[in-house]
Structure 1
């Protein structure tokens, strides 16, 4: 597959050959290796979230006293939602590389607090992680988009295609954290004697801390980007900051995309909180949850890479989003109308097949929402990605707090209604873009 270069030049191959073509076409001022920064960023997030993702999954198991683990997660996502409102001006002022390094410290402290879990360690760590998570994700979207635009400009490539490739690589690598983290937990915690459970848990979280340190170290090797130079932040008053934070909500295009962002958060939390508990566990047992989530992560990773390669602009994004949404609709209707526990091989295959469909859809939403916001809000990247994490984290928190009180059927109906509204709004956004 190839894309157009500059208007007078020949077609240029995609990501595998972009670095070579870039060096040959820019002899006078050789550009920075922006693809290298994407490799480093992807690996850094893989190390950090292999540790944090597994630690999060274990909270309801290892910190059961007075529901310390689940309460800490609820506090974390409420903090995440609150700080996402002000994350964009923080990233603009401090710069994307600095907030990426700073953001990893919250994950380090949260994991470290699990070595001595109490209300005095877990709750402050959760509150701080909510802040750092909000800025690290806005910083990630801003940094990746900035690298993509710089790479496209230096190498005379189509911007939408480069954004798609960079997002595909990042989310493809990132999705593997679900496989790696679960394997660590499975190996170290499976089959332990009653007396050595605490030592095994502490060893596991110590390994998680080491993974986080490697991620922090990798972040330090990222190139610094001129975010302030290309996006100045003249905040002369609180009113100017507030205007910058609220301005995306005055944009009709953003309002039409928000329902899809909300659904992406709902479905992520649903898979972790409800699907594994009420579909996978009855069919495969508790030991099968790790395998199902590993398959989910593998499907997510493969789809992210493929979707990134297929992304070239708004219309390819639209087609991919509808494709991923179709798979989720199939699973939701399957669970609502036709699924029942089955014995034998088929009873094992069905939950795993659903996990694959969930993973493919999640890979599509992650890559395409990030690419879409990068394309539509080139000069307001921080504010756009802040909206992405704000609505996603609010949706995730909602699922965590409502899951004890709602049935599986009620959750599925809520997901289906939200997805239908999101697709209708997104279709109207497509028409608006076509007419503009």
Structure 2
């Protein structure tokens, strides 16, 4: 294996361990905090509010992430950002309202530089022929975090209606240790040359002046210019949907199962199983598209995105039939159209949510890392900005809207977002046929424009 692919593997393992901690905690945070509140009447911290703060800060800080990375480079940015995930884990050992929300805000800022650095580093390790493979391999490794973390949670929460302090401490301690292990892997990454530098004389002259604050200002300006292009505005609708469905499966769906008392004798343990199934779907999808990376590059990304859309629509319909409308809020004896609710349907839907998410995200990574290679930092920052602002809004309305209203919003944005992604993909294919030598730039109104200019 060449050094670039080795770096992709190390990057995947680093994120796998860091997000074994965070994604598992996101899946159980509402359950954990409700258990703490039952023991401590002074603690009123809310899981949905915490997650909303994370993604709000995440979205805003994405505008500054390119400037930060222009100073530090992607490797240092990922290391600094991953430390904030570790800090967030530790806060749960010392329950406090203000500490929970403060650490959520700090994590949001760290997440912005972590994910923008990851996107830029993945692009540096890839070219047009390897970006689909590398995106799929990275995604599969990353989503193992949902699989392994929730297996651990399942056994820890087994036969427990209330998550006691000793169990919470055990879970949090193990997750924190895994986050530290992920940081070790990220520290082992080898430097990669920036492949976003253009080849023209003008581009080389511009690059020489991008130092210090000039580089930071240029990074912010180029991200803003990229955001208002036709293709990026269309892609942003797809990004919005990925943020909404991310918030649903990572923070709402698990607690909704755990609060549905008629689904199982001890529904809290099903939360861990649902996380495992989501992770299995993510890993299967990422691994499949990594193996078929060259074929997806040849035939296009749109068939996979459409398949992900169909999978999600089926899952949403089954969830609508299986879980009661007030399931996201508290323990309930209510039912939906199935009496009693079926645990196996809930777990099947969890797998489908993960598989559909893998379809969407691997192809977005492939699009940004392959087509926007000349401004990958800006492209990934805009992706994470749009995705995280949608996730933040979703977590805010998750505290107020019932399950059916949330599913309706997902159906509408999923339909529009998939259509917008396909429009951009078809435009890219057309430009590649008309002008193969410009296949690594994206144009507005069908004219090739390099974003380094």
Q: State whether TM-score is above 0.5.
A: yes
Q: Tell me, yes or no, if the aligned pair for 1:321 and 1:365 is still in contact at 8 Å.
A: yes
Maintained 8 Å contact 1:172/1:305:
yes
Matched, 1:78 2:56: yes
Partners of 2:78 and 2:118 within 8 A in 1: yes
Instruction: Compare 128-137 and 246-255 and name the one that shifted more.
Output: 246-255
Is the aligned partner of 1:216 residue 2:183? yes
Match of 1:382 in 2: 377
CA distance in 1 between partners of 2:216 and 2:155 (Å): 51
CA contact (8 A) 2:322 2:342 kept: no
* 1:49 corresponds to: 19
Q: Greater CA deviation, 65-74 or 84-93? A: 65-74
The answer to whether the aligner puts 1:299 opposite 2:299 as a matched pair is no
The corresponding residue for 1:330 is 314
Between stretches 326-335 and 90-99, larger displacement belongs to 326-335
Task: Give the secondary structure class of the aligned counterpart of 1:133.
Answer: helix
Aligned residue number for residue 347 of structure 1 = 342
Task: Report if aligned partners of 1:89, 1:382 keep a CA contact under 8 Å in 2.
Answer: no
Q: Within 5 Å, which residues of 2 pair with 1:308-323?
A: 308-312=290-294, 313=297, 315-323=299-307
- 2:101 is aligned with 1:134: no
Q: 272, 276, 294: which is aligned to 2:250?
A: 272
The residue number in structure 2 matching 1:422 is 417
Give 1:62's aligned residue.
32
Deviations 1:107-158 (A, max 9, x none): 1111112221224432332222111100111111111121123xxxxxxxxx
**Number of residue equivalences:** 394
Q: CA deviation at 1:164?
A: 1.1
Q: Which residue of 2 aligns with 1:111?
A: 89
Residue correspondence of structure 1 range 1-400 to structure 2 within 5 A: 19=1, 33-63=3-33, 64=37, 65-149=43-127, 159-160=128-129, 162-190=130-158, 197-227=164-194, 230=197, 232=207, 233-234=210-211, 235-236=213-214, 240-278=218-256, 282=260, 283-284=263-264, 285-312=267-294, 313=297, 315-335=299-319, 341-342=337-338, 347-400=342-395
- Counterpart residue number, 1:413: 408
Give the superposition deviation at 1:102. 1.1
TM superposition score normalised by structure 2: 0.80
Q: Secondary structure at the match of 1:236?
A: helix
CA spacing shift, 1:228–1:366, aligned 2, 3 Å: closer
Secondary structure at 1:227 match in 2: coil
CA distance in 1, matches of 2:322, 2:342: 13
Shift of residue 241, structure 1, vs aligned partner: 4.8
TM-align CA RMSD:
2.7
Q: CA deviation at 1:406?
A: 1.5
C-alpha displacement of 1:278? 4.1
Structure 1: stretches of 5+ with no match in the other structure: 1-18, 20-31, 150-158
User: 2:12·2:137 contact (CA, 8 Å) conserved in 1?
Assistant: yes
Judge conservation of contact 1:172–1:303 (CA < 8 Å) in 2: yes
Structure 2 CA distance, aligned partners of 1:237 and 1:33? Answer: 28
Shift of 1:343: 5.5
Give the conservation status (yes or no) of the 8 Å contact 2:322–2:346: no
CA contact (8 A) 1:189 1:201 kept: no
Q: SS state of the match for residue 253, structure 1?
A: helix
